[in-house]
Each structure stands twice: as C-alpha cells, then as structure tokens.
A and B are shown apart, each in its own frame.
Chain A
Amino acid sequence: MINVLLFAQLQEEAGRDRLEVEMGETTVKELKQRLQDSFQLGRLESTMAAVNEEYARDEDTVKPGDTVAFIPPVSGG
C-alpha cells in the first residue's frame, strides 16, 4: 500500500486529501500514471512529488509503506 497525499488544487480536483494505492515497488512516474488513470488527475504529469517528505524525481523508487505527496507549485511567503 502506498499512501498518497494531495494538496491545494489537486485536493479540490480529487475531492479528497489522501488516497491509498495498492501497488508493489514502483516509480514516481508509474504511480502518477496509475493515479491519472484511476482518478482523472490530469495535471499530475507536470506536478512535483515528494517521497517521505523529500522531493523526488520521476525515476525515483516508491515502496509499499511510503508516503508520496504531490506538490503543486508552491506559493508561501
């Protein structure tokens, strides 16, 4: 099980702030693909991801138990 967190506009689009995805070891890119197919989250492809609170690249590994957050462009300050 991979825990997925959604924020800002992605959260509104999905109508929820977290998802659980049944997947084995995978990559950020494949997880994005899966979510796009299952939840019609169209912008994921160009959205930053963080695995266990660290920014990650598309080719980085995601393991069951990891928390993957999708980070739309930030606007703090």
Chain B
Amino acid sequence: MDEKLFDITKEPIQVEELVKKVERREAGAITTFIGTVREWTKGKRTVYLKYEAYVPMAIKMLEKIGQEVQAEWPDTKIAVTHRIGKLDISEAAVVIAVSSPHRKAAYQANEYVIERIKQIVPIWKKEHWEDGETWIGDQLENVPYPEGKPRMEEDQG
C-alpha cells in the first residue's frame, strides 16, 4: 500500500488513489481539490505549462502544511500530490484530498492546504503562451514575500 501522503510526481495524478489514501472508517466526508491547467488567463492563451520543483524541500513543506492542518483540524487526514514536468491544458497539476468525520473541516482544511502550497512550497510554473514564455511568480509581476520570507507557522504568533 502506498502511504506517501505528500508526493511530487512526473506522472499523471490519479485522483482515486489520493481518495483511497485518506479513506477511514471514522470519516464522514472526503473533499478533493483538483488544480488544473487553464487555457485562458486575462486574454492570453496558454499552450502548455512546465512545473519545476525543489523536490526534497517541496515534500518537507507539504509535510509541514500537513502538521499545520493537524493542529487546526485534528480529526482530518490529508494527502497531496503535485505534478511536475510538462502539463497540457486541463491536466491536473495538484490534487488534495482531505477526510474528516464531518464535512466542514474537510472543506476548510482543503482550502487551507492549497493557499499554503501557493505560499511556501518550492514549485515553479512556467507558462508557455502562444507568443512566448514566462516564469509565473516572477518578481516583475508579484510582490514575492512582503515579510522578507514566506509566512511560516512559527511566525504567526
């Protein structure tokens, strides 16, 4: 049985496998979030994306997010897989599954996980447009970390 709850893969993600990882007899709800590759962003057409990760640290940060979730919603179990490499339109880049005894925690924890992934997990997306390419998260487009570093749990007081 694959018990890797936090994973980075080059292969297409199987949603059902993540659901299986969090299934438990005490769970009354499982939420899944599937982040997919969008074709149109603000009038620009994406042809495909490439994701790159600092894999060992990305897994560590996913585990850290898992610990944060346990502290806030103790009865949940979560599994996250992020894909890297070349992804076509509509393919799943990330899948998050959360089980809990009641649905509210499963929804809340699931949203929390995707927000934190976007803040602290070292994964980068390169958009290949019809007319060029850009690393998203480029400092020309975003203020990266207003506090000098990504917000970590120990900084949140």
Contacts and interface: CB of A to CB of B under 8 A. Distances in A.
A8 B84 CA distance: 13
B156 to A, nearest CB: 14
Interface core residue of B114, B119, B126, B145 (most chain A CB under 10 Å):
B145
Nearest to B142: A73
Contact of A48 (B51, B53, B117, B144): B144
B122 interface: yes
A71 B119 CA distance: 12
Interface residues of B, number: 35
A9 B50 CA distance: 13
A64 to B, nearest CB: 20
Nearest to A12: B135
B56 interface: yes
Interface residues of A, number: 21
Interface in A40-77: 43, 46, 48, 50, 53-55, 57-58, 69, 71-77
B138 A9 contact: yes
Interface in B31-78: 35, 51-54, 56-58, 60
A69 B52 CA distance: 14
